[in-house]
Amino acid sequence: MVADGLARPPLDGLMQSAPADPMVLAGALAEAAAAIARLDQALAGHPLAQAFLYRSRLESVRRMAAVDGQFIDPWHLAATIEGLRLRMDPTLRIIDRGDILDKARFALGLHQWIVEPDFDQEGEVQRAEALLAGQPASLPPLIAAAEGLRVWIETGETRPAMRSALIRFWRKRGLLRLPIPLTGAASLGSEQSWEREDWLPAFLRAVEREAADALDLLYAMERAWCEARRGIAGHRSDSHVTTAVDLLAAAPVLSATTLARILGIAIKSALRILDALLATGIAIEVTHRSKRRLFGLQGLAPLRGVVQPPYRPDPSRGPGRPRHDVDAEAAEVAPPRRPPLTPLERRDFDYTALEETMAHLDAVVRASRSALRSIADGTHAGGRKPAPGRADPAPDC
């Protein structure tokens, strides 16, 4: 019996956990807000904004799909968008090959939610928006978004609608001027604690990381694109080479087939353009194959580390396991982060061609999503004509 006259279990005081430190949440909130502000400021009036949105959306849906248990290799997603037949391990079972297509379809389905939801999806997104708008006005926007997301998930609603609503919420509350896909996807991972004092800072840290990664992507795109433009400075302003560089800057990978359809030229002519850019070091090849080759912009093609050339044994080596010797001097070191371009440096280039190519790339994603859906529904017609501005779909991946 205690002084207040109420009987309590003897271990009650020991079972109570210490209250959460409010500074943890405050620090995470400050860092997330600062990262978003830096990103928004960098994108204000930036000529590469639309190309940045294209690439950031693809990376965002890949991140969201991984959290939802549908991890897809960046190479597989890029190759699927290009309509390329995936050259997977021949020992894979048919069910394994189908699993990769399912994951690609899932990722591009998430892309539809955040870019152009259909009628039913739009209704779900608007319900999620209403929930976010109903949060107390006294809450900071980031906390209001986190609280709204928790309520939405706890009531059994689906994640894609709320993610799309969050992208709109940032703009309505004045945090961002562009629909940048910051959704805090990592906070919904299976290993993340759902306790409020643990989850709220985790959500804010996830948003902060996404904003920081997006800013790094923007600076990398800017430098790679401007260096490539300088490399073709001797070509005419209406040259197809200029458009090819713009497409390489916007798309993760590009094939001669897609380039030819966008430019309205022969595939052989498109391949000559890409090979010329490859010879001058402006572009790199990421597939190491003789047919349906894929190219990326130098310094902006992380897929090269994913797509390795086929293994070929060394004829000069004898039997047995080779030694794993590592040359310290030859070890690859990540290049230092370079500063963004100045406004004067950006002004030296004409951005008209880049703006005109973005609609074509959006059409490529849209057609790829439609082809994957028709494959799953069994309605894909192998002999139909391809959609304009895209490579042939590959139903037999």
Q: Read out DSSP for 86-141?
A: P---TTS-HHHHHHHHHHHHHHHHHHHHHH---HHHHHHHHHHHHHHHTS-TTS-H
Q: What Å distances lie between residue 140 and 73, 143, 173, CA to CA?
A: 36, 5, 10
Q: What is the pLDDT of residue 309?
A: 44
In the chain, the largest separation of any two C-alpha atoms, in whole Å, equals: 91
List pLDDT tens digits, range 21-34. Answer: 889 999 999 999 99
Say which DSSP state 295 is in: E
Q: What Å distances lie between residue 136 and 23, 82, 132, CA to CA?
A: 21, 45, 9
Q: What is the pLDDT of residue 354?
A: 59
Token readout for 4 is 């207040």
Q: What is the pLDDT of residue 374?
A: 77
C-alpha–C-alpha distance, residues 189 and 192, integer Å: 5
Cβ atoms of 274 and 256 within 8 Å: the answer is yes
Q: What is the pLDDT of residue 231?
A: 85
User: Which strands form 294-297's sheet, in the order they lie side by side?
Assistant: 254-255, 294-297, 283-285
Number of other residues whose CB lies within 10 A of the CB of residue 303: 20
C-alpha–C-alpha distance, residues 276 and 297, integer Å: 13
Q: What is the pLDDT of residue 397?
A: 32
Q: Which residue has the tokens 């968008």?
A: 81
Q: What is the pLDDT of residue 54?
A: 87
Q: What is the pLDDT of residue 291?
A: 64
In 3D, which of 169, 187, 177, 158 has the Cα closest to residue 133? Answer: 169
Residue ranges for the chain with pLDDT beneath 70 = 1-19, 75, 79, 82-97, 234-238, 287-292, 299-357, 359, 378-397
Indicate the residue type of 396: D
Number of other residues whose CB lies within 10 A of the CB of residue 191: 5
Beta bridge partners of 284: 296
Question: Who contacts 154 (Cβ-Cβ below 8 Å, separation ≥6)?
Answer: none
In 3D, which of 192, 185, 225, 175 has the Cα closest to residue 57? Answer: 185
Q: What Å distances lie between residue 81 and 9, 53, 308, CA to CA?
A: 62, 16, 19
Q: Which residues of 316-350 are buried (b: 16+ CB within 10 A; e: fewer)?
A: eeeeeeeeeeeeeeeeeeeeeeeeebeeeebeebe
Q: What is the pLDDT of residue 242?
A: 85
Cβ atoms of 36 and 207 within 8 Å: the answer is yes
Token readout for 335 is 């290049």
In 3D, which of 218, 235, 222 has the Cα closest to residue 277? Answer: 235
294 SS3 class: strand
C-alpha–C-alpha distance, residues 118 and 369, integer Å: 13
The vertex-169 CA angle with 168 and 170, nearest 5°, equals 95
Q: What is the pLDDT of residue 249?
A: 81
Q: Which residue has the tokens 């205690």?
A: 2
